[in-house]
C-alpha cells in the first residue's frame, strides 16, 4: 500500500494511489535530458503514480481525483511507443487508511479524463454513495456532452442521480480548499489550492504531471539557477511566474515557465 499522511496547517491530507501509468518520456519533455535519465525504466518509459488525495477539512471529507477505476488502458501514439495505464487499487488503499467509500462527502475532480474520474461509477451506482461531484464546468461540453466515452457515460450517470455540481468560477469550494481554473490540458482543468494558516499546497492535476517536465537551467548572472517547467496551460502566466519562452505549438499547448530554484520545492 502507498498511503501517505501529511498536513497542510490544520488540514489532514492522505495521499493514495489507484495504480500507475507507463508513459514514453517524450510525452512530457526531452527524454534525453541527463536530469531525467534515472527516471526511465528498462523499456525507456516513465512510471507515474495515478494518485488521489483525501483532504479532511472540518467535518467534511473530500477526495481530490478518483483514479482510473478497475481497468487497464493501452494505446500507442505514432512515434512514441506503447503507453499503458493500470488502475483498480483506490478502494483498497482508502480502506487501508481507515476511509470508507461512504465517508467521502465531496469528490473534487481536476478534470474529466478517465484516469482522474475512473471510480465515479461502479457496480450499477456511484462508487462514493454520499458524495457530490465537482469539476470545472467547461469540461462538461468538451468531454461529456454527446460523448460515448466511459468518462462521459459515468458523468452523465452521476448527473442523472443529482450528484454533479460544476464549478463555474474560481474561489473557495470547501473550507480551506479553493478552485483555480487552469485550462489547457482540458478546457475545464482545475487546480485545487489547500490553505490553512500560513501553509499552502496545490493539487495540480495534469497541468504538471511528471518530473520530466521539470529541468534545472543555468544560473542567471549573479543569480540562482532556474527551474524550467513545461506547463499545460492555455493562458500564459495564469498562476505561475512570467513566461520565459513558448514551446512549438501543441495540443494541448505547453509553455516553459521559469521559477527560481528556491521557490520550486
237-219-35 Cα angle (round to 5): 85
Closest listed residue to residue 170, CA positions, set 197, 136, 194: 136
In CATH terms, 4-205 corresponds, of 3.90.1200.10, 3.60.15.10, 3.40.50.970, 3.30.470.20, to 3.60.15.10
pLDDT in tens, 118-143: 999 999 999 999 999 999 999 999 99
Task: Give residue 46's pLDDT band: very low, low, confident or very high (50, 70, 90).
Answer: confident
Q: What pLDDT, in 10s, does the model give residues 54-107? A: 999 989 999 999 999 999 999 887 777 788 999 999 999 999 999 999 999 999
Q: Domain extents for the chain?
A: 4-205
- Grid coordinates representing 72? 487497464
Most confident of 80-94, 106-120, 203-217, 243-257: 106-120
Q: What are phi and psi of 174, to 5 degrees?
A: -150, 160
Work out the number of other CB atoms within 10 angstroms of the CB of residue 100.
13
pLDDT category of residue 2 using cuts at 50, 70 and 90: low
- pLDDT given at position 211: 62
| Total residue length of the chain | 265
Stated pTM of the model: 0.81
In the structure, what pLDDT confidence band is assigned to residue 231 with cuts at 50, 70 and 90? Answer: very low
**Is 70 exceeded by the pLDDT of residue 238?**
no
Q: Per 3-state DSSP, what percentage of the chain is helix, strand, and coil (rounded to 5)?
A: 15, 40, 45
CB atoms within 10 A of CB 151: 21
% residues pLDDT > 70 (the chain): 72
**Chain segment 8-32, per-residue pLDDT in tens:** 889 999 999 999 988 876 666 555 5
Q: For all residues of the chain together, what is the average pLDDT?
A: 79
Instruction: Mention every residue, 6+ apart, whose C-beta is less than 8 A from residue 44.
Output: 24, 25, 31, 81
Amino acid at each position: 500500500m502507498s498511503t501517505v499522511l501529511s498536513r497542510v496547517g490544520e488540514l489532514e491530507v492522505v495521499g493514495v494511489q489507484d495504480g500507475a501509468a507507463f508513459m514514453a518520456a517524450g510525452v512530457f519533455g526531452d527524454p534525453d535530458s541527463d536530469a531525467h535519465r534515472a527516471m526511465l525504466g528498462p523499456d525507456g518509459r516513465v512510471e507515474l503514480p495515478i494518485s488521489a488525495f483525501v483532504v479532511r477539512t472540518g467535518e467534511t471529507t473530500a477526495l481530490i481525483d478518483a483514479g482510473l477505476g478497475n481497468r487497464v488502458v493501452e494505446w500507442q501514439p505514432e512515434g512514441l511507443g506503447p503507453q499503458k495505464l493500470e488502475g483498480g487499487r483506490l478502494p483498497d488503499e482508502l480502506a487501508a487508511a481507515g476511509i470508507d467509500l461512504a465517508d467521502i462527502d465531496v469528490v473534487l475532480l481536476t478534470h474529466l479524463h478517465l484516469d482522474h474520474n475512473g471510480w465515479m461509477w461502479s457496480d450499477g451506482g456511484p462508487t462514493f454513495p454520499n458524495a457530490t461531484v465537482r469539476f470545472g464546468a467547461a469540461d462538461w461540453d468538451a468531454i461529456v456532452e454527446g460523448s460515448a466515452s466511459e468518462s462521459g457515460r459515468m458523468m452523465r450517470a452521476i448527473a442523472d442521480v443529482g450528484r454533479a455540481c460544476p464549478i463555474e468560477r474560481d474561489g473557495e469550494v470547501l473550507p480551506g480548499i479553493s478552485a483555480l481554473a487552469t485550462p489547457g490540458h482540458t478546457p475545464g482543468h482545475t487546480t485545487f489550492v489547500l490553505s490553512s494558516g500560513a501553509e499552502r499546497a496545490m493539487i495540480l492535476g495534469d497541468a504538471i504531471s511528471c518530473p520530466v517536465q521539470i529541468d534545472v537551467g543555468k544560473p542567471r548572472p549573479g543569480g540562482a539557477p532556474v527551474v524550467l517547467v513545461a506547463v499545460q496551460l492555455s493562458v500564459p502566466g495564469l498562476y505561475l511566474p512570467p513566461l520565459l519562452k513558448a514551446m512549438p505549438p501543441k495540443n494541448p499547448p505547453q509553455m516553459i515557465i521559469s521559477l527560481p530554484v528556491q521557490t520550486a520545492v
